Amino acid sequence: MVIKKPNEIKSSEITPENVYLNRRNFIRAGVLAGTTLATAGVYKFLNPPPPKEVKTAEINDIVKANQTDIISNEELTLFADITNYNNFYEFSTSKTAVARAAEDFVTRPWTVEVGGLVQKPQTFGIEDLLKFTQEERIYRLRCVEGWSMVIPWVGFPLKTLLNKVEPLGKAKFVAFQTLYDPKQMQSGLFAGIQFPYVEGLRFDEALHRLTILATGLYGKQLPNQNGAPIRLVVPWKYGFKSIKSIVKIILTDTPPPTTWNIAAPGEYGFYSNVNPNVDHPRWSQATERRIGEFGRRKTLMFNGYADEVAKLYEGMDLKKNF
């Protein structure tokens, strides 16, 4: 095979984009040949639904019309990228396949059980939880998971919900659990991790004002692939800590198990704070890739929220407690 440099290729030899795309579609069609059911299933997997675009300008109108808490003034990640590049192993281990796989996920009715070391354990319906977002608080937060985005979440502080159940003084940790329904989440059969997905925070982390429960983004109802109908957002930690599609929150006096720590304890610690000085055993975490940008940028300590959260970890060895 002869490989030419770009300046050696004649314009007449370059395949036009529309022809290239048609060829790709033709190849796809060949792959999809077979039974009618297989064809429909594979085509659906390979062709994710077109995203519903939301212009960035619209978020400014939301900000003007409602009480807001904008933490970052960075440029927002496009809605199309936020909703078509997702980690949600229950649906798929491919980031670009989650949106299609979660398209028919049923999020109504939905309840979240909140209990454990509390005075008033309760089960909240999603309608009850949405009432906490009536102020439409907008949180423009950076989120990092090897790659990063800046997302305008709509939600409310987790503390608001915890106050409703009146935590006991001996509560030291908060455990979270995701819904796991094998009928809807068939990726769980081969994802390589245990389900249901579980996560946890220290109690003081859970009470921090930057720890939110998100019910929407870009002023819209939270899309299925982003953790509908309600998810955790902890912006100074790696993204896998921000558990999606929550059904249970339990207060405890001991550190709860977390999915990725169970799967690979030498790679994923309980805290999982964004720390450019602590490398993952298989890659450097000193830089990150911002979705929508070329190249990589320097990873910031605590994802840029050090002024807000560093005091939570005073006196701790952040390399040991990674």
Tell me the pLDDT tens digit for each residue of 217-262: 988 899 999 999 999 999 999 999 999 999 999 999 999 999 999 9
CB-CB contact of 153 with 141 (8 Å):
yes
Backbone dihedral region for residue 138 (phi beyond 0: left; psi -120 to 50: alpha; all else: beta): beta
**Confidence class of residue 190 from pLDDT cuts 50, 70 and 90?**
confident
190/275 Cα distance (integer angstroms): 30
247/3 Cα distance (integer angstroms): 54
DSSP H or E stretch at residue 176? strand 173-178
In this model, does residue 117 exceed pLDDT 70?
yes
Residue 310 is predicted with a pLDDT of 98
Segment 123-159, tens digit of pLDDT? 999 999 999 886 657 787 888 777 899 999 999 999 9
Q: What share of the chain is helix, strand, coil (3-state, %, to 5)?
A: 30, 25, 50
The answer to which of 29-33, 133-137, 193-197 has the lowest mean pLDDT is 29-33
In this model, does residue 73 exceed pLDDT 90?
no
Which carries the bigger pLDDT value, residue 232 or residue 45?
232
Q: Output the CA angle 308-311-314, nearest 5 degrees.
A: 155
Residue 57 is predicted with a pLDDT of 47
Residue 202 is predicted with a pLDDT of 98
In this model, does residue 80 exceed pLDDT 60?
yes
Residue 138 is predicted with a pLDDT of 76
Segments of 222-285 assigned E as strands: 231-233, 246-252
Q: Structure pTM? A: 0.81
219/61 Cα distance (integer angstroms): 10
